[in-house]
């Protein structure tokens, strides 16, 4: 797949006017203690500059602490956090945003996202997020787990278009209906669960491709996602794995190998289905 050479500092322009590092670090399930802080510091040391957190992860505070402790200038770092379902459901969206700013210890958030399309609330939440964008407190605003029907609903009344949509994307779950819609409307796509809940390390097709390139299965899958122009943020608490995940910029997958991974799509989610809100989690937060 011929394209400009990718690097850990490659950025994707957003419709909001800023740009986002295509490769980042996720902090879901890392906890909020010293182990999480160490992992974030290791990621910063390895060159990561994009960090994806959420109010529901309950570790925004440790993300902010690690960044301040690292000494890396704020302007070099891109922080994403997300509006929690509970704050949407209970009509406390403004409290949720202000709490995230406080937890992170920041003056602004680079990208603020609705975590899930909470029924009857997500349009109201979007209007509030537009206010924060217009005030400069959120440099970009976006969505997560929004399928085409949800996106169309938001866009029908929006005064600010979504800059991103973060969706589950991995070899076993490839939602091209949503991806193609986003591309048509200048919405950047982000991939959560990029390694498919262990699929990247266990699938024989991926293993054969990995052997060909002298890489691991997860490295091959991360590279496959990057070559699609999708933003990705693997996570790990292990320094060796954090460094290894970022070692995906010295090779390029051939088109036929990308096609083999494309063919693994089974529409098999590792997470919840956005079209079934009865399964959404409303974690109790302040």
pLDDT level of residue 134 (50, 70, 90 thresholds): very high
Is the distance from CB of 46 to CB of 243 less than 8 angstroms?
yes
Work out the percent of the chain whose per-residue pLDDT is above 90: 80
Show which residues are catalytic: 57
At residue 241, the pLDDT reads 93
Nearest to 237 by CA among 28, 56, 61: 28
Q: Residue 4 — left, alpha, or beta (φ > 0 → left; ψ -120 to 50 → alpha)?
A: beta
- Nearest to residue 93, comparing CAs of 62, 60, 118, 58? 118
pLDDT recorded at residue 34: 86
Q: What is the mean pLDDT of residues 146-171?
A: 97
Query: Does an H or E element contain 48, and which?
Result: none
> pLDDT digit string (tens) for 85-133?
989 988 889 999 999 999 999 999 999 999 999 999 999 999 999 999 9
CB 102 within 8 A of CB 75: no
Q: What is the mean pLDDT of residues 25-34?
A: 79
- DSSP lists the bridge partners of residue 164 as 188
Rg (CA), the chain: 18
Q: Are 285 and 56 in contact (CB under 8 A)?
A: yes
Mean pLDDT value across residues 149-168: 97
From residue 103, give the alpha-carbon distance in Å to each of 4, 96, 163, 205, 253: 37, 10, 23, 43, 40
For residues 14-23, give the mean pLDDT: 97
For 103, 256, 276, the CA distances from 225, given in Å and listed in that order, are: 31, 15, 26
> Please, what are the domains in the chain?
20-198+231-246 (3.20.20.100)
Distances in Å between the alpha carbon of 42 and those of 58, 150, 203? 20, 37, 28
pLDDT of residue 32: 65
Q: In which band, very low, low, confident or very high, does the pLDDT at 255 lie, cut at 50, 70 and 90?
A: very high
Q: What is the pLDDT at residue 1?
A: 37
Read off the pTM.
Answer: 0.94
Q: State the pLDDT at residue 3.
A: 53
So what's the pLDDT on residue 2?
40
Closest CA to 17 of 189, 144, 186: 186
pLDDT for 31 equals 66
pLDDT in tens, 211-249: 999 999 999 999 999 999 999 999 898 999 999 999 999
Whether residue 286 has pLDDT greater than 90: no
Element at 181 (helix H, strand E) = helix 176-184
Element (H, E) at 20: strand 19-21
- CB atoms closer than 10 angstroms to residue 27: 26
Are 127 and 83 within 8 A, CB to CB? no
- 3-class secondary-structure state, position 133: helix
């Amino acid at each position: 797949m011929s394209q400009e050479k990718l690097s850990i500092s490659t950025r994707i322009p957003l419709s909001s006017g800023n740009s986002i590092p295509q490769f980042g670090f996720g902090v879901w399930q890392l906890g909020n203690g010293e182990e999480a802080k160490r992992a974030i510091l290791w990621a910063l040391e390895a060159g990561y500059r994009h960090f994806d957190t959420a109010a529901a992860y309950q570790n925004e505070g440790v993300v902010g602490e690690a960044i301040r402790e690292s000494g890396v200038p704020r302007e070099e770092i891109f922080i994403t956090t997300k509006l929690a379902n509970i704050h949407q459901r209970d009509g406390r969206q403004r409290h949720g945003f202000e709490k995230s700013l406080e937890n992170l210890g920041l003056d602004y958030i680079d990208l603020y996202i609705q975590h899930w399309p909470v029924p009857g609330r997500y349009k109201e939440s979007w209007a509030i997020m537009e206010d924060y964008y217009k005030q400069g407190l959120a440099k970009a605003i976006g969505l997560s787990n929004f399928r085409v029907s949800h996106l169309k609903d938001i866009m029908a009344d929006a005064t600010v278009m979504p800059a991103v949509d973060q969706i589950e994307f991995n070899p076993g779950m490839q939602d091209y209906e949503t991806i193609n819609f986003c591309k048509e409307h200048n919405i950047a796509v982000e991939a959560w669960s990029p390694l498919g809940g262990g699929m990247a390390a266990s699938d024989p097709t991926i293993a054969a491709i990995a052997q060909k390139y002298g890489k691991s299965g997860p490295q091959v899958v991360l590279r496959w996602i990057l070559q699609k122009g999708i933003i990705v943020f693997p996570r790990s608490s292990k320094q060796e794995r954090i460094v290894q995940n970022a070692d995906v910029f010295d090779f390029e997958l051939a088109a036929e190998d990308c096609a083999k991974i494309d063919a693994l799509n089974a529409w098999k989610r590792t997470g919840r289905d956005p079209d079934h809100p009865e399964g959404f989690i409303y974690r109790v937060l302040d």
